[in-house]
């Protein structure tokens, strides 16, 4: 058996307190491919955590049988800071209540520092360039000085993942179908991942804005060419993806066990775990640009009454919902219609039916970019 379990204590906690993350490691350190999987970076999103629980049980069995071929790291609860944030008996794990922002934004952008280290050392061998860049990424990250406890968490997690071949960050949406975010240069080579996960939407962007965890791992590989040019081959050597396992309420053993099975089959398919994964499932969707997602916003505050369900395909101009002002004096005029801004499937809805003006109440994946999207393509920066 190769498995070890360690507990990493986070620096920067308040006086008299201590937080830590538990890290499950399989295989031999330095073996390839290296896979890093974490869950609940948004600490109030637990479908990924229960899926990781089931995945660890499967990996434990594979380890006992000597079937681990690469190196695998699993962090089933990636955010002990957010886990401790309860307000009025409700978990508040998406943002740091101390003011450090969204736990899945603001990761160190290492490309410029890496370019300084490697620009005059790159050569014609892509494998040698990958090894050089991975070492430079680790060195550049080691020099980052965190400003607060949340930044210490960000650096700690990135230190575990930054030299990986595959990074999977398990999240969930509000009320949603399985969907995956990843960098455009990773497609279509990542099609097996999304097919195994049975994803209903795959959303691509080179840069989505805000420096989320997955892009901190993957985007330096294509951003480097902006600094060092294209004379020497630099492959996109880290398949990093944010995997959204449905909605916050989709937490049960049966669903989580199926998600873990899908992840395990993907690891087998990539040769990280021995065994036959079986035939690749047929893809449930085509990849579309993240810039093509219509983030349908409530124009007014009120109660949202949906006219669509998850998975419905709509056309631009279709009625998505009505917002009801139950405080209106004239209830014949109490409803404000909300319409789709693009053609495509609806894959996310708001679970809480009371909404404020400006809140995203639905997400529709369109096939073409929406004009005027800007550089910040994700919500909740």
Q: What is the CATH number of the domain that holds 329?
A: 2.40.50.100
What average pLDDT does the segment 148-158 reach?
A: 97
The answer to whether residues 168 and 300 belong to one domain is no
Confidence of residue 373 (pLDDT cuts 50, 70, 90): confident
The answer to whether residues 280 and 295 belong to one domain is no
HEC string of the chain?
CCCEEEEEEECCCCCCCCEEEEEEEEECCCCCCEEEEEECCCCCCCHHHHHHHHHHHHHHHHHHCCCECCEEEEECCCCHHHHCCEECCEECCCEECCCCEECCCCCCCCHHHHHHHHCCCCCCCHHHHHHHHHHHHHHHHHCCCCCCHHHHHHHHHHHHHCCCCEEEEEEEECEECCEEEECHHHCCCCHHHHHHCCCCEEEECCCCCCCCHHHHHHCHHHHCHHHHCCCCCCCCCCEEEEEEEEECCCCCHHHHHHHHHHHHHHHHHCCCECCCCCCCCCCCCCEEEHHHEEEEECCCCEEEEECCCCCCEECCCCEEEEEECCCCCCHHHCEEEEECCCCEEEEEECCCCEECCCCEEEEEECCCCCCCCCCCCCCCC
The answer to whether residues 210 and 338 belong to one domain is no
Domain at 94, CATH number = 3.40.630.10
The pLDDT score that the predictor gives to residue 235 is: 97
In a domain, 381, yes or no: no
The answer to whether residues 325 and 263 belong to one domain is no
Cα–Cα distances (Å) from 2 to 24, 71, 98, 260, 270, in that order, read: 11, 10, 39, 20, 19
Confidence of residue 375 (pLDDT cuts 50, 70, 90): confident
Which residue, 285, 316, 338, sits at the end of a domain?
Answer: 285
Confidence of residue 379 (pLDDT cuts 50, 70, 90): confident
The pLDDT score that the predictor gives to residue 137 is: 98
Question: Is 149:10 a contact under the CB 8 Å cutoff?
Answer: yes
pLDDT higher than threshold 70 for residue 164: yes
| Residue 126, phi then psi, degrees to nearest 5 | -60, -35
The pLDDT score that the predictor gives to residue 381 is: 61
Residue range 318-351, pLDDT digits in tens: 999 999 999 999 989 999 999 999 999 999 999 9
Confidence of residue 284 (pLDDT cuts 50, 70, 90): very high
Question: Domain range for residue 322?
Answer: 290-365
The pLDDT score that the predictor gives to residue 380 is: 65
The pLDDT score that the predictor gives to residue 2 is: 85
Length reported for the chain: 381
Confidence of residue 62 (pLDDT cuts 50, 70, 90): very high
Burial of 300 from C-beta contacts in 10 A (0-12 / 13-18 / 19+): middle
In a domain, 205, yes or no: yes
In a domain, 372, yes or no: no
In a domain, 43, yes or no: yes
Which residue, 220, 250, 285, sits at the end of a domain?
Answer: 285
The answer to whether residues 123 and 212 belong to one domain is yes
Residue with tokens 């349908």: 296
The answer to whether residues 208 and 255 belong to one domain is yes
The answer to whether residues 238 and 340 belong to one domain is no
In a domain, 278, yes or no: yes
In a domain, 375, yes or no: no
Question: Is 138:127 a contact under the CB 8 Å cutoff?
Answer: no
The answer to whether residues 77 and 207 belong to one domain is yes
What average pLDDT does the segment 220-239 reach?
A: 96
The answer to whether residues 45 and 62 belong to one domain is yes
Which residue, 236, 256, 285, sits at the end of a domain?
Answer: 285
Residue range 168-202, pLDDT digits in tens: 999 999 999 999 999 999 999 999 999 999 999 99
The answer to whether residues 319 and 345 belong to one domain is yes
Task: Determine the Cα–Cα distance for residues 314 and 121; give it in Å rounded to an integer.
Answer: 51
Mean pLDDT across the chain: 96
When divided into structural domains, the chain yields a total of: 2
In a domain, 379, yes or no: no
pLDDT higher than threshold 90 for residue 14: no
Tell me: cis bond preceding 155? Omega within 30 of 0 counts: no
The answer to whether residues 180 and 329 belong to one domain is no
The answer to whether residues 303 and 209 belong to one domain is no
Task: Determine the Cα–Cα distance for residues 1 and 112; give it in Å rounded to an integer.
Answer: 40
Closest CA to 42 of 104, 107, 101, 100: 104
Confidence of residue 376 (pLDDT cuts 50, 70, 90): confident
């Amino acid at each position: 058996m190769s498995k070890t379990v360690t507990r990493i204590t986070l620096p920067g906690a308040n006086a008299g307190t201590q937080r830590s993350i538990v890290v499950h490691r399989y295989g031999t350190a330095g073996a390839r491919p290296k896979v890093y999987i974490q869950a609940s970076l948004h600490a109030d999103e637990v479908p990924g955590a229960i899926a990781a629980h089931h995945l660890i049980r499967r990996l434990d069995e594979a380890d006992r049988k000597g079937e681990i071929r690469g190196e695998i790291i699993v962090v089933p609860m990636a955010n002990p800071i957010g886990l401790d944030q309860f307000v009025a008996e409700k978990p508040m794990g998406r943002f740091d209540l101390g003011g450090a922002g969204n736990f899945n934004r603001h990761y160190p952008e290492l490309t410029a520092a890496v370019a300084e280290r490697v620009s005059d050392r790159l050569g014609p061998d892509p494998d040698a360039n990958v090894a050089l860049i991975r070492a430079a990424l680790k060195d550049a990250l080691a020099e980052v000085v965190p400003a607060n406890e949340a930044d210490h968490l960000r650096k700690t997690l990135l230190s575990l993942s930054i030299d990986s071949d595959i990074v999977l960050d398990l999240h969930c949406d509000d009320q949603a179908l399985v969907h995956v975010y990843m960098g455009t240069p990773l497609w279509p080579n990542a099609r097996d991942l999304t097919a195994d996960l049975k994803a209903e939407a795959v959303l691509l962007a080179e840069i989505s804005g805000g420096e989320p965890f997955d892009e901190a791992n993957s985007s330096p590989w294509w951003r480097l060419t902006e600094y060092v040019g294209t004379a020497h081959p630099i492959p996109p050597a880290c398949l990093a993806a944010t995997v959204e396992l449905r909605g916050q309420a989709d937490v049960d053993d049966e669903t989580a066990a199926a998600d873990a099975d899908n992840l395990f089959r993907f690891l087998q398919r990539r040769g990280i775990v021995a065994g036959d994964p079986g035939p690749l499932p047929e893809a449930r969707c085509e990849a579309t640009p993240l810039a093509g997602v219509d983030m349908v916003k409530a124009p007014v505050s009120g109660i949202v009454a949906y006219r669509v369900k998850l998975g419905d395909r709509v056309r631009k101009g279709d009625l998505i919902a009505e917002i009801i002002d139950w405080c209106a004096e004239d209830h014949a005029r109490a409803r404000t219609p909300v319409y789709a801004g693009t053609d495509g499937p609806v894959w996310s809805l708001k679970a809480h039916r009371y909404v404020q003006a400006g809140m995203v109440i639905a997400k529709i994946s369109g096939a073409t970019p929406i004009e005027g999207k800007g550089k910040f393509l994700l919500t909740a920066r």
